[in-house]
Amino acid sequence: MSLEDQHSSPVRIEIPGDILISDDDFCREVLNGATRRTARRYEREGLPFVMVAGKKFRPLSQGRAWLASRRSLPPIPK
């Protein structure tokens, strides 16, 4: 392992009950390629995040649950 590899920031951090992934990875994987600007707008609406050593990470399971809670279903015709 090179010295550079030892000092690079982790992409995923395991925490009890969830995994923190980088903001970039969350936008790409969970938000289907949305920009970080969109993710910041979602933060104002409740999208969770955690700052670790000056870098933004998002809890994968909690973020997915938050996104799923925002979906709306069309009314069922009678």
Can you give the C-alpha Rg of the chain in angstroms?
Answer: 15
Give the bridge partners for 14, in sequence order.
19
Q: What CA–CA distance (Å, rounded) separates 6 from 72?
A: 44
Mean pLDDT of 3-20: 75
The residue assigned the tokens 């790409």 is: 28
Residue 2 has pLDDT above 70, yes or no: no
- Per-residue pLDDT reduced to its tens digit, 17-70: 999 999 999 999 999 999 999 999 999 999 999 999 999 999 999 999 999 998
pTM given for the model: 0.77
Amino acid identity, position 10: P
Within its chain, how far is the Cα of 67 from the centroid?
Answer: 10
Q: Quote the pLDDT of residue 11.
A: 82
